[in-house]
């Protein structure tokens, strides 16, 4: 059997890989991973094999597949980042029938997200898992082969309600809740990078719950098992906006300040270049627009306070923004007049309205906005 995990969201892909490995080592530990047909606990641990796909020779791979286990266990071979290995791919496509045979697909529980295909590859019962974190060309013949013959899952970046749902699920696992305004703020600060989001969630949970006393935790069964989430007391209240502003450093630092600087300098070419760099990396245009909206709203608010001669510490207190954002925004606010910021903010509102009413696509609205301001 062949499994194939790939996609831009390497965090969820890695989590799925971890689940498969855990199920292989102890099938009783998971109910949703029977897609691999694993029926036994693999006590020896000798048949879980990691292979560096970038440097793997096809001949070595074939030798491993053809070896017979003395424990009568299925092998799980994990081949990471094979798509840069052209020699392996060509030989695999030419020779795979020598050690794998095709048979009709049987109905099995695939687990969440894995897609079966009619011409599923199977054979001796060993499991070959291709795990790819690099970018893949859709014209690659090996990619076509895996899409047709393997059970696949493509992990694309989450956005909108799917991202909010993922955050809530992660917090639920850690016995914590978050209010709706705070979740919007968290997404504005972090974006859809789930590696960073996971770290921020743990940080917020630890802060919100607080460690229990050593006396209370030392004798618990959960503590003995080393479960991190059980080493903390139950939360007294939901994560709120103030918690986000206190603990989370906005991603806006790298994603949008350069763009705002380019707008202030009336450098439309640089502004569009910076935005399209984000689009090419897979950033959602709606998310980029929300970040621009977030920052210009801050600039308008801070500029108004500056013109009323409010000191820095007063601005910090009145805006409830992260100190980093206030410091950077004060610098940028001095590059605009209050009237300019009001006009820009109105154009952002109009762009958002055009998208929501279906008059323009998000990409077009973003381009028009940036050329107009």
Block means of pLDDT (10 residues each) for the chain, 373 residues, are 91 91 67 41 62 91 77 80 94 78 37 47 68 90 92 92 94 92 89 89 83 42 44 66 83 66 81 82 76 86 93 83 79 90 92 88 88 83
The helix or strand, by DSSP H or E, that contains position 153, with its residue range, turns out to be strand 151-154
Would you state the pLDDT for residue 170?
A: 95
Give the C-alpha distances (Å, rounded to integers) separating 23 from 35, 124, 223, 259.
Answer: 10, 19, 23, 46
Decide: 319 and 288 in contact? Cβ < 8 Å.
no
The SS3 call for residue 119 is coil
Would you state the pLDDT for residue 230?
A: 47
Give the C-alpha distances (Å, rounded to integers) separating 171 from 163, 166, 202, 208, 320.
Answer: 12, 9, 9, 12, 24
How big is the chain, counted in residues? 373
Decide: 203 and 247 in contact? Cβ < 8 Å.
yes
**DSSP β-bridge partners for residue 3:** 129, 151
Q: Rounded CA gap, 189 and 187, in Å?
A: 5
* Domains of the chain, each with CATH number or no CATH: 2-154 (3.40.50.300), 160-247 (1.10.8), 252-372 (1.20.272.10)
Q: Phi, psi at residue 225, to the nearest 5°?
A: -80, -10
Decide: 230 and 173 in contact? Cβ < 8 Å.
no
Give the C-alpha distances (Å, rounded to integers) separating 200 from 12, 23, 170, 192.
Answer: 16, 28, 11, 12
Decide: 336 and 256 in contact? Cβ < 8 Å.
no
Decide: 71 and 47 in contact? Cβ < 8 Å.
yes
Which residue in 36, 31, 1 sits closest to 17, CA to CA? Answer: 36
CB burial string 230-253: b at 16+ within 10 A, e below? bbbeebeeebebebbbebbebbbe
């Amino acid at each position: 059997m062949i499994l194939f995990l790939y996609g831009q969201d390497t965090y969820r892909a890695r989590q799925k890989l971890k689940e498969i490995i855990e199920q292989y080592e102890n099938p009783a530990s998971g109910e949703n991973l029977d897609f691999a047909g694993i029926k036994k606990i693999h006590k020896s641990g000798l048949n879980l094999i990691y292979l560096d796909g970038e440097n793997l020779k096809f001949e070595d791979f074939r030798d491993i597949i053809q070896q017979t286990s003395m424990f009568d266990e299925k092998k799980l071979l994990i081949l990471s980042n094979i798509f840069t290995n052209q020699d392996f791919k060509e030989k695999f496509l030419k020779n795979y029938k020598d050690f794998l045979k095709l048979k009709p697909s049987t109905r099995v529980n695939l687990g969440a997200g894995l897609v079966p295909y009619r011409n599923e590859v199977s054979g001796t019962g060993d499991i070959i898992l291709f795990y790819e974190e690099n970018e893949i060309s859709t014209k690659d013949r090996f990619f076509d082969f895996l899409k047709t013959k393997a059970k696949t899952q493509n992990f694309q970046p989450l956005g909108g309600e799917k991202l909010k749902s993922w955050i809530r699920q992660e917090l639920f696992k850690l016995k914590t809740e978050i209010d709706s305004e705070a979740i919007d703020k968290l997404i504005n600060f972090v974006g859809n990078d789930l590696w960073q989001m996971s770290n921020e969630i743990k940080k917020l949970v630890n802060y919100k719950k607080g460690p229990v006393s050593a006396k209370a935790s030392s004798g618990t069964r959960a503590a003995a098992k080393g479960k991190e989430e059980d080493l903390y007391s139950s939360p007294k209240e939901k994560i709120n906006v103030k918690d986000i502003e206190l603990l989370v450093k906005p991603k806006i630092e790298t994603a949008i300040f350069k763009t705002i600087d380019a707008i202030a300098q009336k450098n439309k070419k640089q502004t569009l270049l910076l935005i399209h760099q984000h689009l090419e990396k897979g950033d959602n245009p709606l998310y980029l627009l929300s970040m621009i909206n977030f920052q210009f709203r801050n600039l308008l608010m801070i500029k108004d306070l500056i013109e009323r001669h409010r000191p820095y510490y007063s601005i910090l207190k009145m805006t409830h923004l992260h100190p980093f954002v206030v410091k950077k925004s004060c610098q940028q606010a001095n590059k605009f007049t209050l009237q300019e910021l009001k006009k820009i903010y109105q154009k952002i509102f109009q762009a958002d309205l055009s998208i929501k009413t279906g008059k323009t696509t998000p990409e077009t609205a973003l381009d028009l906005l940036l050329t107009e301001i």
